Amino acid sequence: MNKEKYESGLAVRKKVLGDEYVQRAFENMDDFSREFQEQFVTEYGWGSTWARGILKNRERSILNLGMLAGLGRLTEFETHFRGALNNGITEDEIKEILLQITAYCGVPMGMEVFRVARRVLKEKKE
């Protein structure tokens, strides 16, 4: 494992998704999933990608929302939707992103992403 990429990835992951989310992911980790969580998700996904410093976190969040919707990965979409809010993307910007997703991924996916967004935004306000 590349310790430097792991540490930088862990820092970005916590900043985007929140300490509690990352803590839960690590608490749910076992011997079977440890390598996946530490090396692939944290070191590679976050440390070798998000922590590169070329794109800003909010730009990466916008990209992730589009890609995850396009792939139909709504569980990860919700996770990264929360991250997008943490990265300062406004409700108006979110709406534009979701409309763009709808235009390119179709109305059924638009229905799904708006459903996720409304639920998360409502939770944030409570």
Coil, helix or strand at residue 47: helix
- Which domains does the chain possess? 1-54 (no CATH), 55-126 (1.20.1290.10)
The Cβ of residue 121 has, within 10 Å, a number of other Cβ atoms equal to: 13
pLDDT digits (tens, 9 = 90+) for 56-87: 999 999 999 999 999 999 999 999 999 999 99
**Mean of pLDDT values over 78-104:** 97
CA distance 29 to 64: 24
Interval 16-53: pLDDT, tens = 999 999 999 999 999 999 999 999 999 999 999 999 98
